[in-house]
Chains A and B, each alone.
Chain A
Amino acid sequence: MKRATRKASELEYLGLTVSADSPASGGLLIEKVRPSSPAERRGVLPGDLIVSFQGIKVLSVGDMASTGFSETPDLVVKRGTQDLPAVQVDMKGFEGAPPIDLLAAGLVLGIAAAVIALFMAPTAGIITWVERRVAGRMQSRIGPNRAGPQGFLVWLADGVKSILKEDIIPTESDQWLFRLAPYLVFMGVSATFVVMPFGQKLIAADLDIGILFVIAVTSLVTIGLMTGGWASNNKWSLLGGVRSAAQIISYEIPGAVAIVCLVMMTGSLRLQDIIAAQGGTGSTVLDVGGWPWYWYVFRNPITFGLFFLYFTTALAEGNRGPFDLPEAESELVAGYSTEYSGMRYLFFFFAEWANVFVMAGIASALFLGGWQIPGVSPAQQEASLALQLVGVGIFLAKSWVLIFVVIWVKWTLPRVRIDQMMNLCWKWFVPLSFGAFLLTALWMVAGVPKSVELVISVLTFVVWGAIMVHFIRRVQHNLRESRIPLHLNPFI
């Protein structure tokens, strides 16, 4: 990926505008100086080169960030070839001075945290409702339908109930760790929402290391589950905690290698870059925007396989069926959460369901083109608010389809055994993911022409279509054979 082109940037608090073509050797060329600004009052002129600021050698605009330690920071500029003596810029009383900057940053962070909490809580809640209703349908029963229309508010009722319950902490448990564990799990999951690319502009923090951040913070979940299992002082809990640690650590490897393949193809760890790379850049409608054949899942047969590999590892990392061994209710009572009740128990499961959204959201961003709209280029999307919202809708729709698949898989398949789970990971997924990594590297070294790549993408998409047609026909045949009365109306 090319580096972002350097733009002229304004340093508001100094009253300076820095030119785009500053010398590559370091330093910043001043283009404009605002009248009666701190810089102007110290005699800085346009054409000067900033050498150091606050005692730090300036290489890029990033080094000009105010640390807020001093209201009169040192500024060294070079005029022509001559180094001028350091001047102390007085920034007292000017708009955008460091302390206010920090306040604003804090406010933004606070709002972001609130938005994340407000989005994450209902999402996790609604997933529980959807899961229970879908599971009910699959099991020829009704599911919750009392609280609110179609039982929609059952998640609120459950949440309130759990919070009002007595907070039981076993006397024999490790009190502090027992209290801490649910928060660790919760933090691990909620932190991933920071880099969740809901839309082109709707992302809390578009970190340069986005996907790496996701992999890193989800590891916190393992620590939480392990801590909970250990602190409960119950052998079943301990077994659950150990199982979850073994499972998550193992499955992180193939999952991360699968992601590395995509990162290699994109050339960036930023989630927005990965999404942007999954769109056409041509001129006709069929050649621009997020058509399915531009998605990474259909990019070539390797990524097609990688999607399923990644999705399975995500299921395992999220402790979802058929990999729900850590909380296997028929073997380990309730695994790591055996001793938990009330709000703390809720936190564990809140995290689990939020994690379902995270795995679906990350999968749709990595493989399914995220917020890219078919037929619309990212530039067009950036210009129109309506299209931005459509993009958000598309991202959420893809995520919810994957969430449905996660629920569907969980309520259909039996649980695998611990040795089978480990075999699957170490004997199959790890070698397969490394093979895919190697093939992807070779693919990129070979330098397949764009047109050939497009043909392969379209063919992969067609193969997927054929698989789906076959699947639907099988389902129809099975339905006819079993003579099941179908209830197609989703509402009861």
Chain B
Amino acid sequence: MSEVIFTNEMDEEMTLNMGPHHPSTHGVLRFIISSDGEIIRKAVPDVGYLHRSIEKIGERNTYPGYMPYTDRVDYVAAMFANECWAMACEKLMGITVPKRASYLRVISCELNRIASHMIALGAMAMDIGATTPFPWALRERERINDIIEELCGARLTYNYHRIGGVSFDMPTGWRDKCLKFLDLFDPAMVEFDRLITLNDIFVKRLANVAVITAEEAVDWGLVGPNLRASGVKWDLRKDDAYSVYPELDFDIPVGTGRYGTVGDSWDRFDVRVRECRESSKILRQALDKIDEHPEDDILGKLPKKLKPDCEAYSRVESARGDMGCYVIGKGAEEPYRVRFRTGSFTAMGIIEAKSPGLFLADLVALIASLDVVAPEIDR
């Protein structure tokens, strides 16, 4: 964008309070903005409005008992925190997960990734002022919610994964429902692109706005789609191939800078759109391969007593990027310390550095493009 020049020494700086109940702060975030009319001089995030001591709760619950709480780490994509906690505990106790359970984990996570990206894309389009993409995206998410509800009985906070596997196998006819959804979803994404991703006004609003270079992205610790949009090809599903991801064939979309610079807001939108397509690809393969493994073999062999005395760190590629879980067990039923590392927290940090010179509307685009979820920031 054009260079912003602050010329008048006599001008009044206006302090704007954006949030915590501002419509485009995605939950309860707050920014204290110093602005010169429409142009922002600085936007300082003020976090902590959704703090629920989720890590402390972990220290007061047993290892399996903490599983439902992990849903609340990132309620938009609850499967990943489930998986991350389960993987940490498995590492801690040396449990092997049956292949079928791994496939079910991949399937549920990829479904959840699409659902989460749908919210991110729809909400971002809504923040740019296009109202129609949001219900379209939510329509697809509803279908996923219906599918996941059949699998585990919940639509938002799933509590589906278990230490050593998953809680339920696929119900009868569930695979066909999944495939039917994917057959509807792929053309819907083509339509979605036509409606919003390639829309001229949308592209002009986002291209070259709040560019984050690859170097900056790494320095600020950005992860997931935000990092990949800056052109860094880093995806734990490939680079730290966990679960059954090595058996599946998929690409890692990275930012192209098709309409502007690599790492602009449009790239962050586009990377998510393309990730949805990749997830669809993964889902088709996983649904195809899962039958190679015996039915109902969905829970590994657990030790009699879950009282580990060591520490473990697990990481998964969540919808918001590298999600890590660090657990210290000290021979008790409860962990001594639980720590989550999430993508939104680091993404929140870069907003202050990127905000000077942006328009108010650009700040909204930047927040939306980083796809922050409030409980991931405040733990």
Contact = CB atoms under 8 A, between A and B. Distances in A.
Contact of B136 (A135, A139, A328): A139
B132 interface: yes
B364 interface: yes
A330 B125 CA distance: 10
Interface stretch (A10-18, A61-69, A165-173, A406-414): A406-414
B360 interface: yes
A239 B38 contact: yes
B47 interface: no
Given A235-B16, A331-B24, A413 B201 contact: yes
Contact of B128 (A135, A138, A236, A415): A415
Interface in B276-300: none
A380 interface: no
B124 to A, nearest CB: 10
Interface string A319-336: 001101000111111000
A5 to B, nearest CB: 52
By CB atoms of chain B within 10 A, which of A324, A419, A481 has the most?
A419
B359 A138 contact: no
B23 interface: yes
Interface in B148-194: 184, 187-188, 190-191, 194
A242 B359 CA distance: 15
Given A330-B364, A411-B132, A483-B187, A418 B359 contact: yes
A482 B205 contact: no
A82 interface: no
Interface in A386-429: 411-420
B220 interface: no
A24 interface: no
Nearest to B14: A235
Contacts of A420: 204-205
Nearest to B362: A417
B248 interface: no
B190 to A, nearest CB: 6
A331 to B, nearest CB: 5
Nearest to B204: A420
B131 A482 contact: no
B130 interface: yes
B361 A418 contact: yes
Contact of B129 (A135, A141, A330): A330
A139 B188 contact: no
B59 interface: no
B370 to A, nearest CB: 15
Contacts, number: 92
A305 to B, nearest CB: 19
B361 A331 contact: yes
Interface residues of A, number: 33
A414 B135 contact: no
A482 B129 contact: no
Q: How large is the interface on B (under 10, 10 to 19, 20 to 34, 35 or more residues)?
A: 35 or more
B150 to A, nearest CB: 22
Interface string A331-357: 111000000000000000000000000
Given A418-B38, A418-B361, A420-B204, A139 B190 contact: no
Contacts of A328: 129, 361
A452 interface: no
Nearest to A478: B194
Contact of A329 (B2, B23, B139, B184): B23
Given A141-B135, A333-B23, A481-B187, A414 B359 contact: no
B196 A331 contact: no
Contacts of B359: 417-419
Nearest to B126: A330
Contacts of A419: 2, 38, 359
Nearest to B191: A482
A138 B132 contact: yes
Contacts of B131: 135, 139, 411
Nearest to B123: A330
Contacts of B125: 414
Nearest to A242: B37
Interface string B111-151: 00000000000000111111110111001000000000000
Given A413-B199, A414-B202, A484 B191 contact: yes
A107 B139 CA distance: 56
A33 to B, nearest CB: 70
Contacts of B132: 135, 138-139, 411-412
22 contacts: A139-B134, A139-B135, A141-B135, A239-B38, A329-B23, A330-B128, A330-B364, A332-B360, A411-B132, A414-B129, A414-B199, A414-B205, A415-B128, A415-B129, A416-B205, A418-B38, A418-B361, A419-B2, A481-B187, A481-B190, A482-B187, A483-B187
Interface of A: 135, 138-141, 235-236, 239, 242, 321-322, 324, 328-333, 411-420, 478, 481-484
Interface of B: 2, 14, 16, 22-24, 37-38, 125-132, 134-136, 139, 184, 187-188, 190-191, 194-196, 199, 201-202, 204-205, 359-362, 364
